[in-house]
Amino acid sequence: MLKSIALDQLRLGMYIHSIPGGWISHPFRRKSFKVETLEDLQTLRDCPIDAITINTAKGRDVTREELEEDDADQDAPAAPPADAANRNPASRTDTAIERERAQRIISSSKSTVLHMFSEARMGKAIDVKDAAELVTEITASVSRNADALISLARLKTTDDYTYLHSVAVCAMMISLANQLGMTPQQTKQAGMAGLLHDVGKMAVPLDILNKPAKLTEEEFASVRMHTVQGHGILQQIEGIGEVALDVSLHHHEKIDGSGYPFNLKADSISIMAKMGAVCDVYDAITSNRPYKAGWDPARSIRHMAASAGHFDPITMQAFVKAIGIYPTGSCVMLQSGRLGVVVDQRPDQLLTPRVKVFYSTANRMPLESEIIDLAHSSDKITAYADPAKWGIGNLPGIELL
What local confidence, expressed as pLDDT, does residue 217 receive? 94
Residue pair 12/180 in contact (Cβ under 8 Å)? The answer is yes
Closest residue by Cα to residue 146 from 180, 102, 103: 102
Domain borders along the chain are 2-77, 95-323, 331-400
For the stretch 142-163, what's the b/e string if a residue is b when 16 or more beta carbons lie within 10 angstroms of its beta carbon?
A: bbbbbbbbbbbbbbbeeebbbb
State percent of the chain over pLDDT 90: 45
Report whether pLDDT(127) > 50: yes
Report whether pLDDT(366) > 70: yes
What local confidence, expressed as pLDDT, does residue 87 receive? 33
Closest residue by Cα to residue 160 from 123, 109, 98: 109
Class of 95-323 per CATH? mainly alpha
Under DSSP, the state recorded for 158 is S
What local confidence, expressed as pLDDT, does residue 66 receive? 47
C-alpha 318: how far from its chain's center?
9
Report whether pLDDT(75) > 70: no
pTM listed for this prediction? 0.74
Report whether pLDDT(59) > 50: yes
